[in-house]
Amino acid sequence: MKRFLIVLGGDAPPPDFLRETAAHCDYVLCADKGLEAAFAAGIPVDEALGDFDSASKETVAEMRRRGIPNTVYPSVKDDTDGMACTRIAIQKGAEEVWFVGACGGRIDHYVAGFQLLVFCEKHGARARIAEPDMEIFAVQGEQVICGKKGELLSVIQMTEDCVISERGVFYPLDRHAMEWGVPLGVSNVLTEDTARITVHSGWALIVHYFHS
């Protein structure tokens, strides 16, 4: 499986976590300031993209010194740096995409991260946002969650038409037509080490929090 890691410019993940995640990926793309996190963790970078308005001058100079392939976009553009990286990953045949550094305190960035997940899934690549304490998926169809009993799992309706089944959780559902505007699926709990979420129609956002 061709797995891409996209390092975004949100809160930098801990270096140990980034190194461990990169070890499971075949290709590393950095979006702008994501380069700083990659350099701090000492992971190899295959390509960097962005307008480089948030990465430091020293980071950009180091990128060029190392000869990392890069594309510099104008600051006035339609795509975010993360979207540009995602398009490249899909064009290069990604079968799976992992995003890190996607969370950074701005709610619009969280929603934009969900959009990147949907874009990957719609173009045939399984996708997740990976953080030390959680993983996030956009799902249309089935998603198996592997975790531990007692961990939190939220399944959030993201389209008006959304029918969901949930197994292996405290509050199971069987082809339940979610009511738009009612956050029914928040803060469920795993009752088994494996949960199975099926989104029969529409899209849902799955947030799985790990035990510390």
Question: Residue 157 pLDDT more than 80?
Answer: yes
Average pLDDT estimate for 145-155: 96
Residue 140 tokens, joined? 């249309």
Average pLDDT estimate for 176-181: 96
Query: Rounded mean pLDDT of the chain?
Result: 94
Taking the C-alpha atoms of residue 27 and residue 6, their distance in angstroms, rounded to an integer, is 9
62 CB-contact burial (10 Å; exposed 0-12 / middle 13-18 / buried 19+) = middle
| Superfamily of domain covering 138-209 | Thiamin pyrophosphokinase, thiamin-binding domain (2.60.120.320)
Q: What is the pLDDT of residue 212?
A: 57
Q: What is the pLDDT of residue 25?
A: 97
Q: What is the pLDDT of residue 51?
A: 87
Average pLDDT estimate for 102-119: 86
C-beta of residue 49 within 8 angstroms of C-beta of residue 35 = no
For 50-106, write each residue's pLDDT tens digit: 888 888 999 999 999 999 999 988 877 788 889 999 999 999 999 999 999 988 767
Domain extents in the chain: 3-132, 138-209
Q: What is the pLDDT of residue 110?
A: 83
Q: Which CATH architecture is the domain 3-132 placed in? A: 3-Layer(aba) Sandwich (3.40)
Least confident of 43-52, 100-109, 112-121, 188-197: 100-109
Average pLDDT estimate for 158-166: 97
For 128-148, write each residue's pLDDT tens digit: 999 999 999 999 999 999 999
Taking the C-alpha atoms of residue 112 and residue 102, their distance in angstroms, rounded to an integer, is 9
Q: What is the pLDDT of residue 111?
A: 86
Taking the C-alpha atoms of residue 69 and residue 128, their distance in angstroms, rounded to an integer, is 25
C-beta of residue 19 within 8 angstroms of C-beta of residue 43 = yes
For 4-23, write each residue's pLDDT tens digit: 999 998 889 999 999 999 99
Q: Who contacts 132 (Cβ-Cβ below 8 Å, separation ≥6)?
A: 13, 14, 17, 210
Q: Which of 78, 208, 64 is nearest to 143 (CA)?
A: 208
Taking the C-alpha atoms of residue 162 and residue 177, their distance in angstroms, rounded to an integer, is 6
Phi, psi (rounded to 5 degrees) for 15: -55, -40
